[in-house]
Structure 1
């Protein structure tokens, strides 16, 4: 599966060849604030934790994985990514009937609608394949991500003690179901 460009953005499937991009994105403490408290990700963690986890759920035919988001303007700089995977994939209770959407963007591109535009385009294309349930999670004080969830049309569902091998915190869950 591939995703069509929007008026401002293009999408490319992220693989191990994008490790440098993933590493550079995670070197801003503000970007990492609601991921791990603001700690920069080491290159070893990108190679030995992040990429193996990505490979565990990646399925390009279904659209699952990370999608690098780049501006269409020349020279097409990469500005972030959108995640697509089954909800709770790494937890003890994964939900394959609901796709989780997530995003991470460079701080220099916050507040310009790129995350909303990218997540909307990806969600809409996945809907055309028959997917009708989506969710997203965030720390309760991550108002920017919650605002994106609301712009996507998601509504608050519940709070959850989300725990997997690398994350353990209470999150808010927003859902969206299409008929």
Structure 2
């Protein structure tokens, strides 16, 4: 219908996935419990100046080629996420490896959680996976104060930035098991 080209426009609202709704709820509860506020923005409608203005948390799938993947790759000295592959290379003690996302299994997947420096004086905290269970499980893990303390003591050891790879199992889009495969600090 070429006659409608100038009449029809995309809607200003977005539909959301279960992953996004659950992650947003967990973040809201965590921030509220710590007397902090945060704003919600849709990644498809977020501009580079908005990202540059402050710290950002992103929770979502890797399959949509979102702009946070580029920031992750730029800031990360050992990992590169491209398509369905997370590649580890150049680490002084870990062997080069490739982890593949996007298998046909929806009851088991990898999830990535990373904190890294970004443009300006900002930092990003990202949660990536292929299906719902990875992001949902890792957001739940990182919005628990006891888990945060244990993670910091066991893995960070005074370092500020990291990439953690998790294996998540679940059923019917609900996680049943979360295991840290590796955490690389920088």
Query: Normalised by the size of structure 2, how large is the TM-score?
Result: 0.29
Higher RCO (C-alpha under 8 Å, 6+ residues apart) = 2
Query: Normalised by the size of structure 1, how large is the TM-score?
Result: 0.29
Larger Rg: 2
